[in-house]
Every structure is written in structure tokens, then in C-alpha cells.
Amino acid sequence: MGDNRRVALIRQSKKREGSESPEIQNDRIGGHMDQRGQVRVATVYEIGVPGDIERDGLEEAVRMVETGQAGGIVVAFFDRLGREELGIYQTLYRLEQAGGVIEFVDSPTLDPATEAGRILIAIQAAMAKAQRMKITNNWRISRERADLAGKYIGPTPYGYKRVDGKLVPTELAQYVKAIFQMRADEKTWAEINQWLTANAPAPKQKPNGPRVAWVVPTIKGIVANVGYLGHTHRKGKIVYRDAHEALVSLTLWESAQSAKGVRSTSGESWLLSGKVKCQGCRRNARPRSSGAGHKAYACKKFHASGTCTNPAFAVASQLEDIVVAALFEWHDSVFEGLQDLVDLDALAEVVAETRTVLRQLVMAQATSRFPEEFAEGIAEAEARAVGAERDLAQAKASITSGLGVPRVFRLRDMWEELTMQERREALSGLIDCIVIEGHKGGPVSERCVILWKGQAAAFAPWPVRGQKSEMVSLPWPLEVEVGLAAAEDAQERVV
């Protein structure tokens, strides 16, 4: 196996109590190394060092890998590596060039050696940049954007026609609703078939072909089609949500699925476990399955410290749809803003400037009667010019050959390819938690607020699992003013 010698990198931007203390980071790293039989060759501490400046400690750790003193670096959490996107890429690029690895104890899927890992790293790095850019909390779903993306894939489903690639309901839509309703009422396939044959125009196999007879497989196909929920999909996997008008409600669709003989095409159970908080008591709204297979996130109401007066409840699929759509929206907007992120022109300008300064000093020295007085200045200017050239070269390398991460990509295009663990990782990197208000107040979309990374700290203290704490509700509506600008020192992990 490979080189198992590791440098531990520990960073804390400001001295304070909390879960990110150097001791905790050290413990996490120690456990990680023990488990893997790794040898710690050095521990580099950066205390009082923000993530977005020149980092002597990080430089030292990377050098150790480059000079063959270690096989890699271990960091407790991704954000301990840094908060400057280009810097993160350069570090990873240098490690890759040196044949070294980097391991994040808390996020094993952030592995630059895998494709999914590189994508997740790109998301995290973009998040770091977004925090610096003070991008605001604008997560509302842009309907137009979904519409643009919502061209239907595959044959036109019964009850719809195509207009500019998108599905539009026809007068046959009523029969689709009837099919779902009968199925939800536990009618057999044969009964439904009989009814349709007597009452509904038969389906066509081809858009302009003749009508064929109703048969059970066609009906089963209709009931299993998530397209009737308004989503476009590829073989049952949802590609775009809310792409066209739905013919059936989610409740009706789900009750039709739960009748025997239909396999659900949704595989997204418990995407948000541990991330959903109850507005009434600040505690986790936990995953809950009903006997009928309906899934929800719910506050359990009776807690060791007391009773929640407004227990949160949200149908899992509805909440997950909202959060995922917001995640895509956020991701698109951030990545649009990041297109000019690595500003090669600006770096090239710095190179030109430093060269000009150097040239002027050298010329001045040549004509001066006291050339020795220029020596120090010239040495400094030379170092600056060399540094600027290195920055430019590294930026170019990190963009072109470096990690092979597309500079701009659409999370929604790759979402279906990610595993559940990777999706949870992507969410964890971007979202502190989702707060749900009790269920008396209307649709989930109006009762949930996403607290993006760094925003939850503004509503501290959060209850810690296993510790008694008072039942204090969160203010409602939850006014999130801080945006993503919450500074690093304000950030606290939500346990």
C-alpha cells in the first residue's frame, strides 16, 4: 500500500471555546490515523490564523509532502484547510503533483482522487468563496429557471401534449386523475382497465398513430410515472422538478403507489436527517415513517427537558423537494458569480506590474552614484516578481490540468449520479440546518427556512444532544439578515 506517513494540520482562526478547538481537531485526526494505521510525522498548528491569508503552516505541511517527508495531510474538517478558493485548489494541485493525498476526517467523501469527491470539493470551495463574497440568502425557487430546463424526455405521457418540448395537459388529463384515484381506492388493475376501456379514449403508441386497446401494463406505467407529478425524469429518476403542470397531487400519487403492486421510483429517503430543526423547541425534527409508508420529519414533542408547544412536522418528500430545489438554485447563482472567479487577467497584470517595478529599479541603479543603496529594494522586487509569476502559473495549472473539476457546472445535472452519502455531504457543506414551523400554518414551503452555512450561529444556543437545556422556541418568522456573510469567527457547527 501507499505511503502511510501523515502530517496533521490543525487550524483555529480565533481562540474560543467550541467544537472546533485545536484539542478536538487533534483528537479527531488521532482517531482517524489510528484506525488506518497511519504514522504521524508532524503536527502543524495554526492558531489565530484566518483561512484566507498566506498560511505558513499550510505551506510547511505541503512542503513536507513535496519533499517526501510525508505521504499526505490529514485535516479534521474541510474548512480547516482554508477559505480561499484558489488557495484550496492550489494546495490540492500541489499535493496531486507530489503524489500525496489529503484526508478530511469529517468528510471522507471529499476525496480529490474520485470524480464525485472533486465535485464535492468544488462545491465546498465555492461555498468558501461565497462566504467571502457575501452572497445573500436568496433561495426562493425560480420558476422560470425550472421551466427553461423542463423539456420532457421520452414519449409524451397520456393526458399531456407537447408544446415547445414541454408537457401541457390535454382534455384526457381527467382520466389520468381517475386512474390514480381508483388505484388509491384500492381498485384492482383489471377493474381499472375495464373502466377505462368503457369510458376513456385509448392511448396511442405513437404520437400520430392509431389508438390501441387499454392494457394493464400501460396503466401500471401511468401510475408509476413521476412525470404526472410535474417532474421530468429519466427511467424514473427525477431530472428536473416542477418542470410542467402536475396532473395529480403528491398525496394522491403516494397513496396510489402504496397500493400493492407498484414500485415507488423515489429513492431519496432521509436525505435531511439531522439537519431539520423544530422551530418550537430547536431540537431535531426526526425522520418518521408511518405504517402506510408515508415519511415525514417530525419533532417528537415530549423531550427530556420538557414538552414542545409547537412541534414541527413536514412530509419528507415535500421538504426534500424544496431543499433540493433551493440547493440547485443557490448553486447555480453562486457558480454564475464564480465564472470570473480565478481572474487570470488580474494575476497577469500583477506579474507585469512587478516586472515593471523591478526594471525601473534596475535602471535607476545603473545610473545612480550609490548603486548599493538599491540592492535591498531590488532583491525585494525580484522576490515579488517571482511570487507573482508563481501565483499566475499555479492559477493556470489549477484551472486547466489541476483537479479536472469543471469550473462551472450545474449541481442539478449531476445530482442523480451522486450516492445518498454524497448528496448528504453536498448538503452538509452548504446548509447548517432547515427550521420547520409547526404544521398548523399551511404548506411546507411557507413554514421552512433554510439556514445556509454560517447562518445558524446567529440563533444560538442550539441544544446539544445528551445535554439538558431549556425549551426555547426560535423566533418566527425567522428573519435571516446575516446572509452568508457570517464571518468565520461567528460560525459554529450545529450538533
What are the residues binding Zn ion (CB under 5 A)? 278, 280-281, 299, 308, 311
Contact (CB, 8 A) for 378 and 384: no
Q: Shortest gap between Cβ of 18 and Zn ion (angstroms)?
A: 25
Cα four-point dihedral sign 308, 309, 314, 315: positive
Q: Which is nearer to Zn ion, 329 or 437 (CB)?
A: 437
Q: Shortest gap between Cβ of 351 and Zn ion (angstroms)?
A: 57
Q: Shortest gap between Cβ of 465 and Zn ion (angstroms)?
A: 14
Cα four-point dihedral sign 354, 359, 362, 367: negative
- Tell me phi and psi for residue 329, to 5 degrees: -60, -50
DSSP string, 374-438: GHHHHHHHHHHHHHHHHHHHHHHHIIIIIS---SS--HHHHGGGS-HHHHHHHHHHHEEEEEE-B
Q: Which is nearer to Zn ion, 278 or 426 (CB)?
A: 278
Q: Shortest gap between Cβ of 439 and Zn ion (angstroms)?
A: 11
Q: Which is nearer to Zn ion, 257 or 279 (CB)?
A: 279
261 vs 481: CA distance, rounded Å: 49
Q: Shortest gap between Cβ of 491 and Zn ion (angstroms)?
A: 24
Q: Which is nearer to Zn ion, 386 or 495 (CB)?
A: 495
Please report, for residues 6, 12, 172, 263, 390, the alpha-carbon distance to residue 29 in angstroms, rounded to integers and kept in the order given. 10, 15, 61, 43, 31
Q: Shortest gap between Cβ of 279 and Zn ion (angstroms)?
A: 7
To which H or E segment does residue 103 belong?
Answer: strand 101-104
DSSP string, 313-329: EEEHHHHHHHHHHHHHH
Q: Which is nearer to Zn ion, 46 or 437 (CB)?
A: 437
Q: Which is nearer to Zn ion, 167 or 312 (CB)?
A: 312
Q: Which of 426, 396, 392 is nearest to 409 (CA)?
A: 426
Contact (CB, 8 A) for 486 and 459: no
Q: Shortest gap between Cβ of 139 and Zn ion (angstroms)?
A: 23
Q: Which is nearer to Zn ion, 454 or 463 (CB)?
A: 463
Please report, for residues 158, 214, 396, the alpha-carbon distance to residue 211 in angstroms, rounded to integers and kept in the order given. 12, 9, 60
